[in-house]
Amino acid sequence: MPGTIGDWSVEQVWFGQVFSFNVLLPALVPAGIIFTVLFTYPWIERWITKDNREHHVLDRPRNAPTRTAIGMAGFVWYCVMWAAAGSDLIATHFHVSLNDVTYWLRALFFVGPVIAFIVTKRVALALQRKDREIALHGRETGRIVRLPHGEFIEVHAPLDEYKRYKLVGFESPSPLPAEPNAHGVVDKKEKRRALFSKWFFEDRVAPATPAELAAAHGHHGEHEAIESGESQKTLSH
């Protein structure tokens, strides 16, 4: 926080008391922004999704990629300011230039949250894809079976009902289009909501459907029959 802003000093004397805004503003403004966003976020997401239901079960972070990425971006944004409060100690302990530390922290103040958002969302989507593969194909066992025609396959162990439900029991909304009003006109507010909905849910991994799980279960049965056949052949020999 600078000592002066133009001709205005950040230290003011009011009613015989000294008010140091170079301490108050950096302490209160970022905290006020963070708590305001945290308080209003449920209403913002409800407006984007048009979901007015009551929700009593928490989502896994990976199953809400954009929400998790926004939270991580805010976390990094605050941590950069937290680190900047000790920039002089960083410079002295690591024997680097204080000016270089300040320049890097200034850059991270703007770039850090963007990088955190992108990386977190990509990681969450990758974990969702991994969960989908495990739900459909089962857990890797490391057992390799050779088929009669020479092909080698790895036998996967099916999941129990509880673990499978944990991997597929979540909602993955698709982007909502802009809906016209009673007069058949799409207003600007609805266009903005549709734009936010597209940004929020465009990158999504849909959970495995019951039909896909049933088909995968039949595939597991074929593998189990092949493995049991190989085992019986081995015992007969």
Q: Which residues pair with 19 in a beta bridge?
A: 12
Backbone angles phi, psi at 11, to 5 degrees: -105, 115
Helices (H) and strands (E) in the chain, counts: 7, 6
Q: What is the pLDDT of residues 19-65, one digit of tens each?
A: 788 778 878 888 888 899 889 999 999 999 988 888 888 889 999 99
Among 87-96, 141-150, 212-221, the least confident range: 212-221
Domain boundaries along the sequence of the chain: 60-137
Q: Kindly calculate the radius of gyration of the chain based on its CA atoms and give it in whole angstroms.
A: 28
pTM: predicted TM-score of the whole model, two decimal places? 0.79
pLDDT digits (tens, 9 = 90+) for 75-133: 999 899 889 989 999 999 999 999 999 999 999 999 999 999 999 999 999 999 999 99
